Structure 1
Amino acid sequence: MTIVENQLMATREYNFPRELVFRAWTTPDLIAQWWGPEGFTNTNQVCDIKPGGTWRFIMHGPDGADYPNHNVFVEIVPSERIVLDHVSGHEFRITATFESIEGSTRVTFRQRFKEKEEFEKSKPICIEANEQLLDKLGELLENLTD
Structure 2
Amino acid sequence: MGATEPRTPTQSATADRETVISRIIDAPRELVFEAFTEVRHLSRWWGPEGFTTTTRAFEFRVGGEWDFVMHGPDGTDYQEWITWTAIAAPERIAMLHGEARDDPNAFESVLTFEPDGAATRIEMHTVFPTKEQRDEAVEKYHAIEAGRQTLNNLATYVTETVRKGAEG
TM-score of Structure 1 vs Structure 2, range by shorter chain? over 0.9
1: CA distance between counterparts of 2:113 and 2:84?
16
Q: Which has the larger radius of gyration?
A: 2
Q: CA RMSD in A?
A: 1.4
Determine the structure 1 residue equivalent to 2:109.
94
Pair 1:76 & 2:68 matched: no
CA distance in 2, matches of 1:129, 1:49: 23
Say whether residues 1:50 and 2:61 are aligned partners.
yes
Q: Which residue does the alignment assign to 1:113?
A: 128
Partners of 2:58 and 2:64 in 1: CA distance:
8
Measured after TM superposition, the shift of residue 142 of structure 1 is 1.8
Question: 2:49 & 2:97 partners in 1: Cα distance?
Answer: 20
1:122 is matched with 137
Given that residues 36 and 129 in structure 1 are in contact (C-alpha distance below 8 angstroms), is that contact kept between their aligned partners in structure 2? yes
CA offset digits 1:21-48 (Å, max 9, x no partner): 0001111111111111111000011110
Pairs within 5 Å for 1:16-55 = 16-55=27-66
Identity %: 35
Contact residue 31 and residue 163 of structure 2 kept, 8 A = no
Alpha-carbon contact 1:72-1:87 (below 8 Å) kept: no
Q: TM-score, normalised by structure 1?
A: 0.93
Superposition map of 1:131-146 within 5 A: 131-143=148-160, 144-146=162-164
Q: Distance in 1 between matches of 2:47 and 2:126?
A: 13
Residue 73 of structure 2 is aligned to residue 62 of structure 1: yes
- Residue type matched to 2:96 in 1? D
Q: Conserved in 2, the CA contact under 8 Å of 1:86 and 1:93? A: yes
5+ unaligned residues in a row in structure 1: which ranges? Answer: none
Shift of 1:120: 1.1
Contact residue 26 and residue 159 of structure 2 kept, 8 A: no
SS in structure 2 of the partner of residue 45 of structure 1 = strand
